A and B are shown apart, each in its own frame.
Chain A
Amino acid sequence: MDTTDAQPTLNKINQMNQMELAKFLRKEISEEKLIILDFQYIQDEIECWWSKEKNNDNFQVLKFKFMNLLINSLHESDSYYFSNLGLNRSKIAAVCIKNIFRTDCHRLSLLVHESLSSLFQLTDIKYDYEEHKALFLKPSGEFYKDWGNGYGAITPHSDDLYENLNIDYLSLTICRDITKTPTSYIFPRDIVKNFNDIDLCKLLHLKAKFLSGKNVAILKERERNIMEYSEKYGLRFFLDFRIDNHTGERMQAVDPGEQYLIDMMRDNVSNFSQEQSIPETGTFLIVANHKVLHGRPQMNIDKSEIGNYTKHSCFIDTPRLLFRSKGPRNEINFYE
């Protein structure tokens, strides 16, 4: 399943003329794909195992045993994806796994979530100023869009572009979703579909300022290129189209003369229909954060009911509960 062609080096890309470069960029982004896997064939085994183990309160031991169960029971064709997400050689930008479990239990969901995230080599990063693990309607959520714990829609974005550390992967596991509100995602190929060669090539050098939003308790910002290439990861995009109630546009061109490129992309994001994940208990979605942007439509719930959920929000009765991890790929890296 690996792409067999040798990947060009950065030096080689720098030597391409505009036409060659645009052709190369279009080819690269057109190949990125989402894989959907169905774990129905081990769901009963997982449920049976959980019914025996659910009283064990040592999470680390449970996780180790559960990973062992997955390792011993999964088909090799499914396990292939664990070590190939987000890499240039594979062109796999996201994996959505459905039917892993059916019991609505936050401990089981978290266990499945943490185990699969580890198998996909995601190192979860926790910042002191952000509550990032559980996503559900939180107090004042009814007043916010572009916030994971709010009611309103979340515009497509990649996570944490204002941080110094690159977040390679983002994973989400659905414990419960009676609102049937899916995670949506959009590929960069759809965001730059109508770009001419000149504008497309300009993106390689476009710098933007990224700001934190409602999700964190402090204001952070970072300037960076919106597109990068490396032999290992291929093309990676750093894009965030969210508009925060307080800080405004979360991504702004450093050179105002280049803001039109961001505006063109924003128009495309608004106009393209986004693909959607499966909003069911037992779905795990993991995306290469810089290969595909994720978001969410407005929550499918009557606005008049929201106050009841946000006032006394808790795991047991919240209508939509997801677990989230985000962080770099776990590998040897002496630069860290």
Chain B
Amino acid sequence: MPTELQMNLQNAVLILGYNNTRINDVKRIRETARNTLNAATILCKKSPTVEDKNTADFVIDVALNSDQKNIDNIMNAIKDISINVVAVLPFSDPGTQLGSKLALHLGLRGPDVNKVNTALDKYAYRQAEKNAQGYPRGYKPIFAEKIDSFEQLCAIHKQLNGKTFLKPTSEGNSRGCMNLSHVHSLENAWSEVRKYISSGVVAEELVSNSEEYSWDHVAGFSWVTEKKTTQNQYRAEIQQIVPAPLSDVETSLITNAGTFMSELAGSNHGACHNEVFYSEKCQSVQAVEPNLRPAGMRIWDLAALAYENFEPWKEWLLWTSQNNRQESFLNTLNQKCYAGLRMITAVKEGILQNIPEINLNTLSTEQVELIEIVWTKKPENSVTTVIKDNSDFIGYIIATSKDYDALSSFLDITTQKLALEVKIYDFFN
């Protein structure tokens, strides 16, 4: 393993942005790039912060859309420091657009420039899905319309018999998503989503009686992740387990759907996090959205825990730098255990006062090993019980077990216990 000094600052990987608070994953990419490719890390994003500068070896202040001027800015900056780019990593949703063009420009692997728009624009994906020549077995396209006005929202809501789901076309982290069967009035829903209208909002038929999964993929390795969302109007993701406890037939249906989605979005066997609904009753799969970047909520870390000798971050870097040892993009993973992450919800609204110090060993059981407790809120942060998106949780835990049921129940009970240990100053008492 090269030390910091042995790293060659003449080679570099470019990271095209990062979503939300995933700066720690940028640190992980930096470490992996250093150890795997002996390369420095350059972070490209608009208005980099001090933290960005402290995290990457070099930062380039650039917008992430695919305008030629952005490519020119990056090329000029890398020329200034005489660096050889060995990999392009689109690590944010907007970054997929610039990343695909940049990879093409530099002769490196990246998403298909002609299809990549469907990975950013949820309506563009629905259009591509609608126009596809055929579908894999069990795959059902979803009805969707772009909306620009309140009147249009009302008309579509009526057409869908009140079973409507609203999504901003270009937001992640469940931001702005809304199940209209849970809202008090369409006026309320409209006032919440109208701020996204300029960048686009799509109304889709609400998928019911289905469970949510994701098909996650990197460089020919793939797995299915079980996802649980909150049951209120916002549907924030609250739990993930890798691999999903499904039969071979079910896994195959989702894998085929995920592969189909990644082809529509032009992944070229790179990183994919394709979200789907699976109905056991109908044996059908419906796409939520494709993402041409590593999954959030530590899914790649869960996969590294669940499978033998699997390092997804390393595989991604090897793929994009064209250094994969294997030629095939159909690789098999050997399961060791189930690995799960569950978010912790505050028990009441208020200001977080104190977080307990917990010894992980005291909470692990014979069947389940608690791997991490992470508090994402700090003392003096305000906390809420109304979870609109992932940033409203106060933390999460990661645990592993060979037994799915034991793990599932452990995640549920332990997060409830931990939530009770957190001291919150109540506004009203």
- Residues of chain A touching chain B, judged by Cβ–Cβ distance below 8 Å, are 11, 58, 60-61, 64-65, 67-68, 70-72, 74, 76, 78-80, 82-83, 119, 121, 123-124, 126, 164, 330-336
Instruction: Give chain B residues whose Cβ lies under 8 Å from the Cβ of A61.
Output: 80-81
For residue B27, CB closer than 8 A to chain A, the reply is yes
Instruction: Give chain B residues whose Cβ lies under 8 Å from the Cβ of A336.
Output: 24
B residues 383-419 with Cβ under 8 Å of A? none
Instruction: Give chain B residues whose Cβ lies under 8 Å from the Cβ of A124.
Output: 54
Given contacts A60-B59, A79-B3, A330-B54, contact A67 B31 (CB under 8 A): no
Report the Cα distance A330→B7, complex, angstroms. 16
Instruction: Give chain A residues whose Cβ lies under 8 Å from the Cβ of B279.
Output: none
Indicate if the CB atoms of B27 and A65 lie closer than 8 Å: no
Contact of B27 among A83, A126, A332 (CB under 8 A): A332
Taking the nearest CB of chain A, how far is it from the CB of B78, in angstroms? 10
Indicate if the CB atoms of A330 and B372 lie closer than 8 Å: no
Residue of B nearest to A123 (CB): B54
Indicate if the CB atoms of B4 and A64 lie closer than 8 Å: no
Indicate if the CB atoms of B4 and A121 lie closer than 8 Å: yes
Given contacts A61-B81, A83-B3, A126-B50, contact A332 B31 (CB under 8 A): yes
Instruction: Give chain A residues whose Cβ lies under 8 Å from the Cβ of B54.
Output: 123-124, 330
Name 13 A/B residue pairs within 8 A (Cβ), A-sorted: A60-B53, A61-B81, A68-B9, A68-B10, A76-B5, A76-B6, A82-B4, A126-B50, A164-B379, A330-B27, A330-B55, A332-B27, A334-B298
Instruction: Give chain B residues whose Cβ lies under 8 Å from the Cβ of A334.
Output: 24, 298, 372, 374
Instruction: Give chain B residues whose Cβ lies under 8 Å from the Cβ of A333.
Output: 24
B residues 8-36 with Cβ under 8 Å of A? 8-10, 24, 27-28, 31
Report the Cα distance A332→B8, complex, angstroms. 21
Indicate if the CB atoms of A82 and B3 lie closer than 8 Å: yes
Taking the nearest CB of chain A, how far is it from the CB of B60, in angstroms? 9
Contact of B5 among A11, A71, A330 (CB under 8 A): A71
Indicate if the CB atoms of B4 and A332 lie closer than 8 Å: no
Residue of B nearest to A56 (CB): B80
Contact of B57 among A64, A78, A82 (CB under 8 A): A64
Indicate if the CB atoms of A119 and B5 lie closer than 8 Å: yes
For residue B150, CB closer than 8 A to chain A, the reply is no
For residue B375, CB closer than 8 A to chain A, the reply is yes
Instruction: Give chain A residues whose Cβ lies under 8 Å from the Cβ of B53.
Output: 60
Indicate if the CB atoms of A64 and B24 lie closer than 8 Å: no
Instruction: Give chain A residues whose Cβ lies under 8 Å from the Cβ of B27.
Output: 330-332
Residue of A nearest to B55 (CB): A330
Taking the nearest CB of chain A, how far is it from the CB of B364, in angstroms? 13
Report the Cα distance A168→B137, complex, angstroms. 56
Residue of A nearest to B373 (CB): A335
Indicate if the CB atoms of B24 and A65 lie closer than 8 Å: no
Indicate if the CB atoms of B5 and A58 lie closer than 8 Å: no
Taking the nearest CB of chain B, how far is it from the CB of A85, in angstroms? 11
Indicate if the CB atoms of A71 and B8 lie closer than 8 Å: yes
Known: A123-B54, A334-B298. 17 other contacts (CB 8 A): A11-B361, A58-B80, A60-B59, A61-B80, A61-B81, A64-B81, A68-B10, A71-B9, A76-B6, A78-B5, A79-B3, A79-B4, A79-B6, A119-B4, A121-B4, A126-B50, A164-B379
- The interface size of chain B toward A, counting residues with CB under 8 Å, comes to 30
Instruction: Give chain B residues whose Cβ lies under 8 Å from the Cβ of A70.
Output: 5
For residue B58, CB closer than 8 A to chain A, the reply is yes
Indicate if the CB atoms of A80 and B374 lie closer than 8 Å: no
Instruction: Give chain A residues whose Cβ lies under 8 Å from the Cβ of B57.
Output: 64, 67
Taking the nearest CB of chain B, how far is it from the CB of A182, in angstroms? 27
Residues 46-66 of chain B, each 1 if its beta carbon lies under 8 Å from chain A, else 0: 000010011101110000000
Instruction: Give chain A residues whose Cβ lies under 8 Å from the Cβ of B374.
Output: 334-335
Instruction: Give chain B residues whose Cβ lies under 8 Å from the Cβ of A76.
Output: 3, 5-6
Report the Cα distance A71→B4, complex, angstroms. 8
Taking the nearest CB of chain A, how far is it from the CB of B277, in angstroms? 29
List of 5 A-B pairs having minimum Cβ-Cβ separation, nearest first:
A79-B5, A68-B9, A82-B4, A332-B27, A123-B54
Instruction: Give chain B residues whose Cβ lies under 8 Å from the Cβ of A83.
Output: 3-4
Instruction: Give chain B residues whose Cβ lies under 8 Å from the Cβ of A79.
Output: 3-6
Taking the nearest CB of chain A, how far is it from the CB of B372, in angstroms? 7
Taking the nearest CB of chain B, how far is it from the CB of A82, in angstroms? 5
Residues 359-385 of chain B, each 1 if its beta carbon lies under 8 Å from chain A, else 0: 001000000000010110011000000
Taking the nearest CB of chain B, how far is it from the CB of A269, in angstroms? 30
Taking the nearest CB of chain A, how far is it from the CB of B354, in angstroms? 12
Residues 79-90 of chain B, each 1 if its beta carbon lies under 8 Å from chain A, else 0: 011100000000
Indicate if the CB atoms of A65 and B81 lie closer than 8 Å: yes
Residue of B nearest to A67 (CB): B9
Residue of A nearest to B82 (CB): A65
Instruction: Give chain A residues whose Cβ lies under 8 Å from the Cβ of B58.
Output: 60, 64
Instruction: Give chain B residues whose Cβ lies under 8 Å from the Cβ of A58.
Output: 80
Instruction: Give chain B residues whose Cβ lies under 8 Å from the Cβ of A74.
Output: 5
Residue of B nearest to A333 (CB): B24
Report the Cα distance A61→B77, complex, angstroms. 9
Interface centre among A58, A67, A74 (most CB of B within 10 A): A67
Instruction: Give chain A residues whose Cβ lies under 8 Å from the Cβ of B375.
Output: 335
Contact of B9 among A60, A64, A332 (CB under 8 A): A64
Instruction: Give chain A residues whose Cβ lies under 8 Å from the Cβ of B40.
Output: 64
Residue of A nearest to B398 (CB): A334
Taking the nearest CB of chain B, how far is it from the CB of A277, in angstroms? 23
Instruction: Give chain A residues whose Cβ lies under 8 Å from the Cβ of B59.
Output: 60
Report the Cα distance A272→B27, complex, angstroms. 42
Taking the nearest CB of chain A, how far is it from the CB of B127, in angstroms? 38
Residue of B nearest to A330 (CB): B54
Indicate if the CB atoms of B5 and A82 lie closer than 8 Å: yes
Interface centre among A79, A119, A330, A334 (most CB of B within 10 A): A334
Report the Cα distance A70→B3, complex, angstroms. 13
Instruction: Give chain B residues whose Cβ lies under 8 Å from the Cβ of A71.
Output: 4-9
Indicate if the CB atoms of B28 and A332 lie closer than 8 Å: yes
Report the Cα distance A334→B28, complex, angstroms. 11
Report the Cα distance A67→B10, complex, angstroms. 11
Residue of B nearest to A335 (CB): B374
Report the Cα distance A333→B25, complex, angstroms. 10
Taking the nearest CB of chain A, how far is it from the CB of B79, in angstroms? 11
Instruction: Give chain B residues whose Cβ lies under 8 Å from the Cβ of A78.
Output: 5
